[in-house]
Structure 1
Amino acid sequence: MCGVTGWIDFSRDLALERPTVEAMTRSLHRRGPDAEGVWIGPHAALGHRRLAVVDIEGGAQPMEARGQGEDAPVVLTYSGELYNFRELRSQLAGLGHRFRTCSDTEVVLRAYLEWGAAFVDRLAGMYAFAIWDGRREELLLVRDRLGVKPLYYHAYPGGLLFGSEPKAILANPLFTARTSEEKLPILFNPRLAMPWETPFLGMNQVQPGHLVRVDRSGAHETPYWRLVSREHRDDHPTTVRTVREILEDVVVHQLVADVPLCALLSGGLDSSALAAFAAAHKPGGLRTYAVDFTGADADFRATPLRPERDTPFALAAARHLRVDHTTVTLDPGRLPEAIPAALAARDMPTLGQFDTSMYLLFQEIRRHSTVALSGEAGDEVFGGYPWFFDRETVFGDTFPWLGNAPRLTDCLAPDVRARVRPGDDERDRYQTLRARVPRLPGESGLQARMREVLYLSLQGPLLYLLDRKDRMSMALGLEVRVPFCDHTLLEYVWNVPWKMKVADGREKSLLRSAVADLLPREVLERRKSGYPATFAPAHAEAVRGALTALLDDRTSPLDGLLDVPKVRALAEGRTEMMTMADNLHLLLPLIEVDRWLRAYDVTLTA
């Protein structure tokens, strides 16, 4: 796993811009602590920071190749893991290609030389990369199908900047950090962001499953993959068996690494299933990790999304699977110490304790491992969240994952609300994504609606979780792999009818049936529980104090934008919400947006 960046400009000689290209590359050093490389041509410059995972000695980047008898180079800067690279390498060798390394990077480069841009259809993995084709004077930006790996870009007349993280683009003086009041809905709730959207004006993301071509006519983005809805013909036993076979094969392919590999084990169904397959196929045994908080025995408070603590279930799963398990116990009082690191990793407002605790967990894991397996997307693929099972929420005419929580944009001052119109903004976003749902003719009722609900969950909510995990892990040089994001698994399960996904009346019953013989009963039957939160009184008081300081600070970038009495009333209240730990969790973005605007010197315009 690595960091990639670059600059295309058809109006200037980029050979004269090496210091800027090097600064862009250097900004990503945490994503790739092992090596750095820069390639510069007249109108294209590519940078790379490497985290060596496969072929430690080879695989240096940017990597350059030429077609037979051609002078103009094809150059690649690549971040990710290609899980079918061995199969592709064999095919390419049969077609006459000769390899200098054992890396998947060279396989990607040779695949492009052989098949052109259509080669992306053959890739299985998580990746974000750029290919400069000197023969055509064209840049190709590619992002994996589910958006596991990030890729940002800023297009301007005659050129384009790109990078694995916003910081690489911010390192170029051509880009200025600006946002606007219209971005407040996604600043206050990043899950509302469209798949291409960022809070920075003029900066976009390459959408999952898309490629962007950049040439003298500009930047043009097109999809190379979409979910397709078709009739599911397998009966229940066949479906269960197929899910089991696909998932096990995916995990086995994702165990390939030339560095130490571990797994996250929360004691939930998703992470426990992955750990079971990994433990069965990893020679020498498997190390696993979970997070908890000092004093959690006394402080924990059950909520709809977190009905119970992870630790007892993680220990039960670890004993059953006979893995080497570690509980990383964090002091809630120290979480604020990691805020600067989390903010620097994200380049966006953080999620407070949820980012800082994950950062500290990964910091401990990185002492022993370079790669970790994680269970992201299990709930979105198989249907695990509590709001999937509340009929009123499911059939509400908006995003079901918003649950019953108040909208933080309700805390905007009346004049700002009148300008931003957050209700209209939410409806527009909902209808835009709803129109993209790949429907199956003839479906109706609950089945049709659940296809919409699952699709909407694969958009903003999943992308936000994947982004958080990528940023907090890669800031420490830790690669996190997410087997449930395999597109073959998703394509199959997507078309399984909802009634089969919940055949026993419970969440994720299809997955539960597929791994029933692998896990202890208490883990197999456990209810969905979200990533752990601390309910320590001292932490709550610290957040409340930071919020009070923000509301009293006339120098805050948010001064004048908020309905202060409404914010204070929410801070003192206690509302049981399906999606939030508590009221302070709901209000956290106010603190984090203020901090981000200041730290990144972002200009906020009306």
Structure 2
Amino acid sequence: MCSICGIIDFKNKDNLNKDILLEMGKELSHRGPDQNGVFINDKVAFQHNRLAIMDLENGLQPMTRYFQGNEYTIIYNGEIYNTPELKSELESYGIEFKTNCDTEVVLYSYIVFKEECAEKLNGIFAFAVFDKNNNEVYIARDRFGIKPLFYTQVGTSLLFASEIKALLKHPKVNANLDKEGLWQLFYLAPMKISGTSVFKDIHEVKPAHFGIYKDNHFDLKQYWNLEAKEFVGTEKDAIENTRYLVTDAINRQLVSDAPLSTFLSGGLDSSIISSVASQKYKNEGNILGTYSFEYKGNKENFKNTIFQPQSDDEYARYLAHYLGTDHRILTADISDITSLLFDAVKYRDLPGMADIDSSLLYYCSKVKEHHTVALSGECADEIFGGYPWFYRKEMLERDFFPWIHDPHTRISLFDDTIVKRKEGYEFVKEVYKNSVNECSMLDSDNASMKQSRIATWLSTQYFMTSLLERKDRMSMASGVEVRVPFADHRILEYVFNVPWEYKFENGVEKSLLRNAMHDCLPDKILNRKKSPYPKTHNPQYEELVTKLLREKLKNPNSILANIIDSHALDNILQYENITWFGQLMSKPQLIAWLVQLDYWFDLYNINIL
């Protein structure tokens, strides 16, 4: 993995300022600590930081190649999992490769296939190609937005970067927050609306989109979408096809020239990945490294909920022993996750998921001591129907995102003359309504299938992208590449059209996945109830972040102190601990999120318009 950033200006070469470009790149150096490079001419200025994963000796970027008299230069962040097939196809066009890295494969894919390039790729990616002869830049992002890419327009220049912080290093880009940005923060965060960044006039290249910048105009187009199709086959066919797709996705993502491991929680999804990976390693005479995450004090303080019915530690240890992996248990203290709340904001560019972010930031820093690449189990719940809103009808019958259990909790803490709650609520409801209407369906779908499609659509478009953003930023902060095998578009395309009855057989969530991979796991793991990423249950954590928040609110220069309703805050602090967002965000996380928000206002010099 890597970082990319650039300035494009076809009208005024003086705007291609190398010093500004280097400052932008410096902000992203954590994503690529191994090598860096620049490419500057009279049209574009590209900068790249490299985390070397494949072909460690080669692959320096920016990379330039010449073909049939034309010149092309790429900067690229990602991994392509169908590289062998693409390479063979490109060689049939007369391409001769100089390296074994996928950067060159992506570049030649653009050279040969032009606008159809992105849809040829199976992987995670964000890249830009300068096509000198056509005087244009092609920019593309993967189907699920696993690799980030943001852009903004400054006069005649288009700026783009892997993270927002790099764009803000340009002297003419400001951290402005308008009312829609506020509403996203207070109603949706850590989610955000696709194509936005929360910051005014800073946009993201939407997942599954490519764009061509030419003649001072950036034209974005969608190259992939999730389509409803009639399912053809039997339940046995669905099980066999799912098994093939999942196993193939995992095996494709085990290719690495850098040390590779898996995250193993003991839940179904990470256990499937670890089992398939472990077997492949054993066949090659190697032992797979695995990691599980714990918190000091959790054994004494764990309390189950419908979202987190069990603790992970027993199951992770059990499966690691069963598979014979080289297992490490990483344990975080509340002091670790509290102190890292601030770094988590810096790496995410936003207040995100509080200690759910900061703990992952801590764990990945420890993983980096032994491994550079890890496979993780995200996205199976969104694709196979693991969340309660897939099978609890009442959660989808509200006119709001089903994982936001109380949309008013957070925004009620702020001065309504500033946040305009009613107007904001109607805005977000309209976003939700439009999103539901975009979901592809068939006239022949029964009621349960329609509900399944809507739940899958919303989950993959919003909830999943937020979790993938978190995983990318917190892991790349330490130069760790985390791959997510379930986020293979072939799996989603297929499972989206499998009848809901196969996915929820006998009232068991993700039964299709369990049936497909049943011989990979012991019954203790195979039949385990879903449990999410672990969080701290230590009551001292809430005490610590509450103290932090009260101290920050004493600062007369604090933006937060000037917009928060102290009476409403006192009421929230006295409430019982209930989950208000997703599966993990409850009262301690809300308090910690406010601490992060205060820090973000100050660090980014936010200007509320």
TM-score under structure 2 length normalisation: 0.96
* Partner Cα distance (2:149, 2:407) in 1: 31
> What is aligned with 1:316?
318
* Partner Cα distance (1:399, 1:419) in 2: 17
The answer (yes or no) to whether the contact 1:574–1:582 under 8 Å persists in 2 is no
What's the secondary structure of 1:326's corresponding residue? strand
Provide Cα deviations, 1:461-494, integer angstroms capped at 9, x if missing partner: 1111001100011111100000010011111011
Give me the CA root mean square deviation.
1.7
Closer, same or farther: CA 177–417 of 1 in aligned 2, 3 Å: closer
Do residues 36 (structure 1) and 36 (structure 2) align?
A: yes
Closer, same or farther: CA 460–84 of 1 in aligned 2, 3 Å: same
* Partner Cα distance (2:5, 2:92) in 1: 32
Which amino acid is 1:422 matched to? G
* Partner Cα distance (2:75, 2:229) in 1: 36
> What is aligned with 2:106?
108
* Partner Cα distance (2:393, 2:496) in 1: 21
> What is aligned with 1:164?
162
Out of 379, 382, 386, the residue aligned to residue 380 of structure 1 is 382
1:439-454 residue pairs with structure 2 within 5 A?
A: 439-454=441-456
The answer (yes or no) to whether the contact 1:264–1:372 under 8 Å persists in 2 is yes
Which amino acid is 1:75 matched to? T
1:266-277 residue pairs with structure 2 within 5 A?
A: 266-277=265-276
Cα offset, 1:573, TM superposition: 0.8
The answer (yes or no) to whether the contact 1:276–1:321 under 8 Å persists in 2 is yes
1:276-287 residue pairs with structure 2 within 5 A?
A: 276-282=275-281, 283=284, 284-287=286-289
Closer, same or farther: CA 420–42 of 1 in aligned 2, 3 Å: farther
Which amino acid is 1:586 matched to? L
Provide Cα deviations, 1:69-125, integer angstroms capped at 9, x if missing partner: 23xx21100000011111111111122111111111001111111111212221100
* Partner Cα distance (1:302, 1:60) in 2: 49
> What is aligned with 1:3?
3
Do residues 230 (structure 1) and 229 (structure 2) align?
A: yes
* Partner Cα distance (1:564, 1:389) in 2: 38
Do residues 600 (structure 1) and 595 (structure 2) align?
A: no
The answer (yes or no) to whether the contact 1:270–1:378 under 8 Å persists in 2 is yes
* Partner Cα distance (2:599, 2:371) in 1: 32
Which amino acid is 1:204 matched to? H
1:389-404 residue pairs with structure 2 within 5 A?
A: 389-404=391-406
> What is aligned with 1:200?
199
Provide Cα deviations, 1:496-519, integer angstroms capped at 9, x if missing partner: 121211112111111111111111
Which amino acid is 1:555 matched to? N
* Partner Cα distance (2:235, 2:557) in 1: 61
> What is aligned with 1:152?
150
Moved more, 228-237 or 542-551: 542-551
Provide Cα deviations, 1:118-160, integer angstroms capped at 9, x if missing partner: 1222110000111111111111110000111100111244221
Closer, same or farther: CA 131–543 of 1 in aligned 2, 3 Å: same
Out of 477, 481, 484, the residue aligned to residue 482 of structure 1 is 484
The answer (yes or no) to whether the contact 1:408–1:587 under 8 Å persists in 2 is no
* Partner Cα distance (1:25, 1:9) in 2: 18
Provide Cα deviations, 1:47-89, integer angstroms capped at 9, x if missing partner: 100001001111110011122123xx21100000011111111
Moved more, 574-583 or 245-254: 574-583
What's the secondary structure of 1:458's corresponding residue? helix
Provide Cα deviations, 1:170-198, integer angstroms capped at 9, x if missing partner: 12112111112331222233244211111
Which amino acid is 1:470 matched to? D
Cα offset, 1:576, TM superposition: 3.2
> What is aligned with 1:524?
526
Closer, same or farther: CA 492–577 of 1 in aligned 2, 3 Å: same
Which amino acid is 1:186 matched to? Q
What's the secondary structure of 1:263's corresponding residue? strand
* Partner Cα distance (2:596, 2:565) in 1: 17
> What is aligned with 1:340?
342
Cα offset, 1:439, TM superposition: 1.6
> What is aligned with 2:125?
127
The answer (yes or no) to whether the contact 1:14–1:44 under 8 Å persists in 2 is no
Which amino acid is 1:215 matched to? K
Do residues 80 (structure 1) and 85 (structure 2) align?
A: no
Closer, same or farther: CA 420–20 of 1 in aligned 2, 3 Å: farther
Cα offset, 1:217, TM superposition: 4.0
TM-score under structure 1 length normalisation: 0.96
Which amino acid is 1:493 matched to? V
> What is aligned with 2:64?
64
What's the secondary structure of 1:363's corresponding residue? helix
> What is aligned with 2:594?
590
Cα offset, 1:408, TM superposition: 1.1
Cα offset, 1:444, TM superposition: 4.1
* Partner Cα distance (1:333, 1:157) in 2: 45
Which amino acid is 2:222 matched to? P
Closer, same or farther: CA 68–325 of 1 in aligned 2, 3 Å: same
What's the secondary structure of 2:608's corresponding residue? strand
Moved more, 533-542 or 543-552: 543-552
Q: Where in structure 2 are there 5+ consecutive unaligned residues?
A: none
1:464-543 residue pairs with structure 2 within 5 A?
A: 464-543=466-545
Which amino acid is 2:578 matched to? E
Do residues 143 (structure 1) and 147 (structure 2) align?
A: no
What's the secondary structure of 1:66's corresponding residue? strand
The answer (yes or no) to whether the contact 1:158–1:216 under 8 Å persists in 2 is no
* Partner Cα distance (1:427, 1:334) in 2: 37
* Partner Cα distance (1:168, 1:154) in 2: 11
Closer, same or farther: CA 299–575 of 1 in aligned 2, 3 Å: closer
* Partner Cα distance (1:239, 1:53) in 2: 34
> What is aligned with 1:289?
291
What's the secondary structure of 1:601's corresponding residue? coil
Out of 158, 161, 177, the residue aligned to residue 175 of structure 2 is 177
Which amino acid is 1:601 matched to? N
What's the secondary structure of 2:495's corresponding residue? helix
The answer (yes or no) to whether the contact 1:251–1:274 under 8 Å persists in 2 is yes
* Partner Cα distance (2:153, 2:442) in 1: 36
Closer, same or farther: CA 7–436 of 1 in aligned 2, 3 Å: same
What's the secondary structure of 1:214's corresponding residue? strand
Q: Where in structure 1 are there 5+ consecutive unaligned residues?
A: none
The answer (yes or no) to whether the contact 1:4–1:25 under 8 Å persists in 2 is yes
Moved more, 425-434 or 45-54: 425-434
Which amino acid is 1:80 matched to? G
The answer (yes or no) to whether the contact 1:348–1:596 under 8 Å persists in 2 is yes
The answer (yes or no) to whether the contact 2:184–2:198 under 8 Å persists in 1 is yes
Which amino acid is 1:603 matched to? N
> What is aligned with 1:568?
570
* Partner Cα distance (2:443, 2:591) in 1: 42
Closer, same or farther: CA 253–434 of 1 in aligned 2, 3 Å: same
> What is aligned with 1:248?
247
Report sequence identity in percent.
35
> What is aligned with 2:426?
424
Which amino acid is 1:17 matched to? N
Closer, same or farther: CA 589–332 of 1 in aligned 2, 3 Å: closer
* Partner Cα distance (1:577, 1:190) in 2: 15
* Partner Cα distance (1:302, 1:429) in 2: 33
The answer (yes or no) to whether the contact 1:372–1:478 under 8 Å persists in 2 is yes
What's the secondary structure of 1:483's corresponding residue? coil
* Partner Cα distance (1:182, 1:327) in 2: 42
Cα offset, 1:333, TM superposition: 2.2
Which amino acid is 1:202 matched to? D
* Partner Cα distance (2:107, 2:23) in 1: 25
The answer (yes or no) to whether the contact 1:145–1:210 under 8 Å persists in 2 is yes
What's the secondary structure of 2:563's corresponding residue? coil
Cα offset, 1:425, TM superposition: 1.9
* Partner Cα distance (1:420, 1:33) in 2: 46
What's the secondary structure of 1:141's corresponding residue? strand
Provide Cα deviations, 1:520-555, integer angstroms capped at 9, x if missing partner: 212111111111111212211011112323444432
